[in-house]
Structure 1
Amino acid sequence: MQTTDYRIAADIGGTFTDVACLSSEGQLITAKVPSTPHDYAEGILVGIGQIVEQLGLEAGNFGQLLHASTIATNAILESKGAKTGLVTTEGFRDVLELRRIRVPRLYEPLYEKPAPLVPRRNRYEVAERLDATGAVVQPLDEAGARAVGRALAQAGVEAVAICFLHSYVNPEHERAVERILREELPEGCFICASYDVLPEMREYERTSTTVVNAYVGPVVRTYLEKLVQRLEAAGFDGNVLMMQSSGGLLDVAQVQERPATVVESGPAAGVVGAARLGMAAGYKDVITFDMGGTTAKASLIQDGCVTATDDYEVGGGISMSSALAKGGGYALRLPIIDVSEVGAGGGSIVRIDAGGVLKIGPESVGAVPGPACYDRGGEHATVTDANVVLGYLNPVALAGGTVPVKAIRAQEAITRTVCDPTGIDLLEAAYGIHRVANATMMRAVKAVSTYRGRNPRDFTLLAFGGNGGMHAAALARELNIGRVIVPPGAGVFSAVGLLVADYEMGRSLSLSLLLKDGETELLEKAFSDLETSVLEGMTYETTPTLTRSVQLRYKGQGSELGVVVPPGVIVDETLNLLSAGFETEHKRSYGYINETGLIELVSLRVVASLPPARAPRVSGIAGLVDTGEIVTRKAYFGSSSGLMETPVITRMALSDTPRSGPMIIEEYEGTTIVPPDCTAWRDSHNNIVIQLGAEEQQDG
């Protein structure tokens, strides 16, 4: 077998590391192992070892490792990034504090925005000034910049972000300060400038994005370097590519230069897989629901296409994109698959707050020590513990027996955390945890649907992640979604998504003009120059596909909508098509068209992409068999249904004939719950299809 016949994908989550491989015959082989926070590479190597053992290969005998991770996201959500400094124009020290005026919780007067990633004591000003055209108003004070470098070194920062006013037009001052800081700061300090991270207007968004890039830089760089070293020691000499938040793969060396591009790496991989494999199975309009150990994510796929954005917020309890609900996190203005994320996963910690209210997350127990039921020293009650008490999860072991479970530990943790302070019965407490987790995760689904002008009822919920199948039906009920799909390999689906993703690189630049002015030659030249820049940064043997897009708005608006530019040289008709495309999207997102409004172009973007050398094809799933064994266990579905003796079956025990719930579908990678009054069957692509009954939907 040729080495390049194998692509292995690894997705690091907060609790588990998922590994998947597609053979040349289209056979999907998967592994799920506990994440190893002390050295994330260790978990990947263990998973790869299980895969190559099944295939009968040597450890290094595969062509590519495709990689995704939530490590950058978790560093922000859990405030575990690098100690970061900011250098900015004199008078703009507090841009991170001022940010935008909108808040996400209108009726919560005591709401406080999350603290800036860079505290004020580590934010420094340098005398310099450019105007909006890039002309120098005040020369750079190089002596002052050098003094700032010495102060940052004394403060012991691990990373520095540089962001000067109007540097997206003229980056010379930022380049000069970047050079000075590299001389003054210790070798290894991560330094980045906004002209390289985000050469676009908007002072707060550009500053915030550059700071996020610096904040996660050392974390991402350290574990990627260790990963490559460990792989090389194991005999692997192929390419290592990492998933970007935009949904494309990129060489890890380039990722280390711009780590903010992988903040939503893992979630993006799952959405790409859902779009491509879902479309192949006939599901073109879906909302993805990805619930892992630390977070839950949602995204919207319409007509088989992922929804992308460059207007995103990460952290603050929920990471999301929406022009209608902002202010809860840190602006990240980079191309990102529109994924909304909340700190609610299987390992999220359960607590009773000072007001006696049950709360879930965003803190997580992580892989170590893990939920109490794993019996590895975990004391906190978690969502996973609640699912064990409810009978949803196997009370003996998970992941094919590789993760032992002690149900008594889950019972003790929930009793101590919830039952004793409130007097609630154990089953009701566990069911309450399950429902509160669903309510928290519902925010993520609404952020990509309701808040963007889409009705969830018009979509199918496609659930994956280690815990997605357990919560999907109940979540769909709350949202009036009538159908749930759980794909094969759902518990490792972000890893599966990596296998069908393209190699991709993109760049953007600011350019302000009105479409009515007909500046076709200016636009064509700007796009051509940008395309040259993108292609120079890529390694390729066949010519990549180039996609152009623009950000448009009505003149005077505060936010933009992305529109793809039709192929070919830009002419007057191209501008007419862009206007029509913008108005269609504006109507869909906001419900109206401004008939007299002037349409303004704000920025350009070019993406170059290459599909996998061998088209991915999933023709079979390793280990997907029906044992024929009939097993039941008691599961609790609320006070109206009580404890029910529930069949525990495998995916292959389902046929194309609908089967009535309740039932528990156990697999190596995860568990799917089919509540009472629902039916389930297996379609021709081996997806589990759950149809909610009339009683499950408030409006039928």
Structure 2
Amino acid sequence: MQNQYRLGIDAGGTFTDFILADRNGGVRIFKTLSTPQDPTLAIRNGLALIEEETAIPPHEIVSNADLCINGTTVGLNALIQHKGARTGLIATRGHEDSIEIRLGHKEDGYRYDPDYPPATMLVPRYLRHGVRERVLSTGAVHTPLNEEDVREACRHFIAEGVESVAISFVWSVLHPEHEERAAEIVREMMPGIRLTIGSQIYPQVREYTRTSTAIVNAYLSPILSSYVEKVDGYFQSLGARAPVRYFQSNGGLALGRVVSDQSVYAINSGPASAPQAALYLGSPWDMKDIITVDMGGTSFDITLTHDGRANVSKNIDFLRYRIGIPMIQVETLGAGGGSIGWIDSMGLMQMGPQSAGSQPGPACYDLGGQQPTTTDANLVLGYLNPAGLVGGRLPLNVEKARTAIETHLAKPLGISVEKAAYGMFTIVNNNMVNAIRRVSVERGYDPRDFVLNCAGGATSAHITALAREMGIRKILISKLASGLCAFGQIISDVKYNYMAPAPVRLEGAEAAARLNTLFEGLEERGRADLAEDGFTPERIGVRRALDMRYVGQVHECTVDVDPFTVTEAALEQLKAAFHARHEELYTYSEPNSSVEVVNVESALTGALDKPARMQIAPGKGAHAALSGTREMIFSADGTRQDAPVYDGAALGAGDRISGPAVIQEVTTTIVIEPGWHAELDATGVYVLTQQPAVSATAARAVADTVDA
């Protein structure tokens, strides 16, 4: 950091988190309510809150910041609420309905459900216009582009008030000239229109995926463009010396103009920064296999990093729309602090996905909510401070929580309130464990080989129970856990993805030369873009990926590889990497079968300086932070026991606590179950381990010895 500050802003559905770091290792977290009607208002309110608490005015922070970073839900909210731009589609005649045909099936989980309704089309049928043109799978032109058809589409779009246009032709990735000429005509007849070209936004084989991705991008582009313009303008008015960076779903930063043109990359930008934060927190102990879990008021997000790299998904159905571009895999579950407990038709207790949200909220908030929620259960179990959350600014009503649980669950089931509360706690934990398995076990990873990292304000109350169920023996909880995604943004790098189709069998010198030429071309573009962005060669990193399959397979899997010159001999390295990944995913491989590549991708990163780490002064022993005891429940029989409560602000580096116990931080509550031990490291991270206890200092010493 060359300047005094770095500012990270993560706009969530309920709260917008702010992380302010300085060059001396000081890091502070601030929260303000999100303002979906005008997302920039939350930024103004947050900076006003920072000024109120620190006496540092917004213009002083921004003008002395080397980076101001924004992760936003603007695109996500527009897609959820179907409030994007009025969009038109120009497609190859006869393929206007590919987005409704959807490869002939519904999403996984609903494929055989005749009552499951079709997805709402982002482009209605009357705004899809087919044009005469056709390219074959060889890249040869079968039917030249009929330019008058394109002009007719433009006249229709103008009459209908279309704001954004997507162009996607069959096999355009092998012959993009038709799409490019159609784009010229659209720009000529509809100057100023937002335009998305399929072969540019997603230059990969698969027509349906490319068309759907282009439509989503076109649908969101005017919304994100307007948002970026407002945010950039506001920060410029405060004297910003560097352009605002925006966080992308691929796990990296980008300039506003990139986000405006490639808006599909900003859809799920919030939780996408969690893996980077996890690796940063775990780096003092050389931890590279980390599962991060983030429990908010309504949802529970899970991300995974293996060998220092985050799980990335492509060609997925997101909110029922197929998106092809690489996105950090985020598994989302309707399980949060507001998840409602209820009894199903079989007389069994269930949790969620319905949520009390923030209005009226859990019953214990005393804002009118009457349904029992996860937060109510945690309060009855004694985990949460009855004096209130967020340093007492959010008071809690224990009696309202007990009444809600008793009325809706305990009495109907004929059990005590305490047993019902522990049942709620157990069920919501099991739901979260099942979701963790989807990003680990179902992708070929054993969760017992991973560290569990805590994010979100509500997660810490459940974290040891989740680890116990998964067989995970080590947990990381940062003092910044409740704003970990905003923290992840300020320690992330710039990242751009470059893709190309590569239908080639991995055999012979010609195939090797073709792959090598493709990769070198993509990376030359990437280095040029990053150089224009101010990055010198030594700060530019490259990762490669190939979509590969056995000849005859319908679907391919993505294989990550390090950059190297692709020669005929090196093809064996690619085959070996594919066989290994196939076995990880499907428990078998076919080393004697031929392998082919479908698509290739190069991800280039521009490394940014990282802010100094938080530094915690040595402690005087956990006893100095003991604030009292509280009755808590740690078993299904509902038995209460006194457990110590510690003030997190009074703990110092090296202080160790054994469970059962609770550590109360200002924005989160850490529940330490029996058999677990916590030690606060000097970097501001609690390291939780199961017996036998392993000190954070000793763990770091072991890691240093291994590195040496």
With the shorter chain as reference, the TM-score category is 0.7 to 0.9
Deviations 1:504-530 (A, max 9, x none): 222111111122122333333222322
Deviations 1:28-59 (A, max 9, x none): 22222222223222333333444465384624
Q: Which residue of 2 aligns with 1:115?
A: 119
Q: Partners in 1 of 2:637 and 2:42 — Cα distance?
A: 42
Matched, 1:481 2:472: yes
Q: Which residue of 2 aligns with 1:303?
A: 307
Distance 1:421 1:641, change over 3 A: closer
Contact 2:626/2:644 (<8 A) preserved: no
Distance 1:116 1:223, change over 3 A: same
Bigger Cα displacement from structure 2, 259-268 vs 109-118: 109-118
Distance 1:352 1:203, change over 3 A: farther
Q: Which residue of 1 aligns with 2:437?
A: 446
Matched, 1:639 2:636: yes
Code of the residue aligned with 1:134 in structure 2: it is: G
Matched, 1:616 2:608: no
Code of the residue aligned with 1:132 in structure 2: it is: S
Q: Partners in 2 of 1:95 and 1:59 — Cα distance?
A: 49
Q: How big is the shift at 1:276?
A: 2.6
Code of the residue aligned with 2:168 in structure 1: it is: C
Distance 1:407 1:250, change over 3 A: farther
Code of the residue aligned with 2:628 in structure 1: it is: V
Query: Any idea what SS the aligned residue of 1:346 has?
Result: coil
Deviations 1:8-43 (A, max 9, x none): 111111222221132212222222222222322233
Query: Any idea what SS the aligned residue of 2:625 has?
Result: coil
Q: Partners in 2 of 1:210 and 1:419 — Cα distance?
A: 51
Q: Which residue of 2 aligns with 1:320?
A: none
The gaps in structure 2 that reach 5 residues or longer are 693-708
Q: Which has the higher contact order (CA 8 A, sep 6+)?
A: 1
Q: How big is the shift at 1:179?
A: 4.8
Code of the residue aligned with 1:523 in structure 2: it is: L
Distance 1:522 1:186, change over 3 A: closer
Code of the residue aligned with 1:17 in structure 2: it is: T
Q: Which residue of 1 aligns with 2:142?
A: 137
Query: Any idea what SS the aligned residue of 1:99 has?
Result: helix
Query: Any idea what SS the aligned residue of 1:67 has?
Result: strand
Distance 1:451 1:541, change over 3 A: closer
Q: Partners in 2 of 1:262 and 1:166 — Cα distance?
A: 26
Matched, 1:165 2:170: yes
1:259-298 maps to which residues of 2 (within 5 A)? 259-298=263-302
Distance 1:15 1:331, change over 3 A: same
The gaps in structure 1 that reach 5 residues or longer are 316-328, 695-700
Match for 2:529 among 526, 532, 537?
A: 537
Root-mean-square deviation (Å): 3.7
Code of the residue aligned with 1:7 in structure 2: it is: R
Query: Any idea what SS the aligned residue of 1:510 has?
Result: strand
1:336-355 maps to which residues of 2 (within 5 A)? 336-348=327-339
Query: Any idea what SS the aligned residue of 2:385 has?
Result: coil
Deviations 1:77-105 (A, max 9, x none): 56555555544323223323333547533
Deviations 1:379-408 (A, max 9, x none): 776544443444433334333344454556
Query: Any idea what SS the aligned residue of 1:18 has?
Result: strand
Query: Any idea what SS the aligned residue of 1:518 has?
Result: helix
Q: Which residue of 1 aligns with 2:43?
A: 44
Contact 1:281/1:685 (<8 A) preserved: no
Q: How big is the shift at 1:494?
A: 1.0
Distance 1:403 1:63, change over 3 A: farther
Code of the residue aligned with 2:534 in structure 1: it is: Y
1:306-345 maps to which residues of 2 (within 5 A)? 306-315=310-319, 329-345=320-336
Code of the residue aligned with 2:547 in structure 1: it is: Q
Code of the residue aligned with 1:618 in structure 2: it is: R
Q: Which residue of 2 aligns with 1:322?
A: none
Distance 1:373 1:16, change over 3 A: farther
Matched, 1:673 2:677: no
Match for 1:246 among 218, 240, 250?
A: 250
Q: Partners in 2 of 1:386 and 1:182 — Cα distance?
A: 58
Contact 2:619/2:651 (<8 A) preserved: no
Bigger Cα displacement from structure 2, 373-382 vs 541-550: 373-382
Contact 1:14/1:294 (<8 A) preserved: no
Matched, 1:54 2:75: no
Q: Partners in 2 of 1:504 and 1:33 — Cα distance?
A: 28
Q: Partners in 2 of 1:223 and 1:136 — Cα distance?
A: 40
Q: Which residue of 1 aligns with 2:545?
A: 549
Query: Any idea what SS the aligned residue of 1:91 has?
Result: coil
Distance 1:400 1:82, change over 3 A: farther
TM-score using structure 1 length: 0.85
Deviations 1:210-253 (A, max 9, x none): 23323443443343333333333444443211122222111122
Contact 1:14/1:366 (<8 A) preserved: no
Distance 1:354 1:434, change over 3 A: same
Q: Which residue of 2 aligns with 1:68?
A: 71
Match for 2:498 among 489, 499, 507?
A: 507
Contact 2:90/2:131 (<8 A) preserved: no
Q: Partners in 2 of 1:152 and 1:381 — Cα distance?
A: 50
Match for 1:579 among 575, 579, 601?
A: 575
Match for 1:94 among 94, 97, 105?
A: 97
Bigger Cα displacement from structure 2, 668-677 vs 639-648: 639-648
Distance 1:234 1:600, change over 3 A: same
Deviations 1:565-609 (A, max 9, x none): 544543234323222222222222222221221121222222222
Q: Partners in 2 of 1:348 and 1:389 — Cα distance?
A: 15
Match for 1:196 among 174, 177, 200?
A: 200
Bigger Cα displacement from structure 2, 200-209 vs 76-85: 76-85
Q: How big is the shift at 1:432?
A: 4.3
Q: How many matched pairs?
A: 678
Query: Any idea what SS the aligned residue of 1:620 has?
Result: coil
Q: Partners in 1 of 2:294 and 2:434 — Cα distance?
A: 13
Match for 2:228 among 193, 218, 224?
A: 224
Q: Partners in 2 of 1:136 and 1:109 — Cα distance?
A: 40
Distance 1:518 1:541, change over 3 A: same
Distance 1:199 1:349, change over 3 A: farther
Q: Partners in 2 of 1:471 and 1:592 — Cα distance?
A: 36
Matched, 1:16 2:10: no
Code of the residue aligned with 2:602 in structure 1: it is: V
Q: Which residue of 2 aligns with 1:324?
A: none
Q: Partners in 2 of 1:545 and 1:269 — Cα distance?
A: 18
Q: Which residue of 2 aligns with 1:559?
A: 555
Distance 1:106 1:17, change over 3 A: closer
Match for 1:206 among 207, 210, 234?
A: 210
Matched, 1:525 2:521: no
Query: Any idea what SS the aligned residue of 1:618 has?
Result: coil
Query: Any idea what SS the aligned residue of 1:65 has?
Result: strand
Bigger Cα displacement from structure 2, 470-479 vs 597-606: 470-479
Q: Partners in 1 of 2:305 and 2:299 — Cα distance?
A: 20
Query: Any idea what SS the aligned residue of 1:474 has?
Result: helix
Contact 1:32/1:399 (<8 A) preserved: no
Query: Any idea what SS the aligned residue of 2:270 has?
Result: helix
Query: Any idea what SS the aligned residue of 2:65 has?
Result: coil
Code of the residue aligned with 1:648 in structure 2: it is: V
> What is the percentage of aligned positions where both structures have the same residue?
34
Query: Any idea what SS the aligned residue of 1:20 has?
Result: strand
Bigger Cα displacement from structure 2, 621-630 vs 587-596: 621-630
Q: How big is the shift at 1:254?
A: 0.8
TM-score using structure 2 length: 0.84
Q: Which residue of 2 aligns with 1:323?
A: none
Q: Partners in 1 of 2:99 and 2:617 — Cα distance?
A: 50
Code of the residue aligned with 1:65 in structure 2: it is: C
Code of the residue aligned with 2:507 in structure 1: it is: K
Q: Partners in 1 of 2:146 and 2:527 — Cα distance?
A: 36
Bigger Cα displacement from structure 2, 507-516 vs 295-304: 295-304
Contact 1:22/1:618 (<8 A) preserved: no
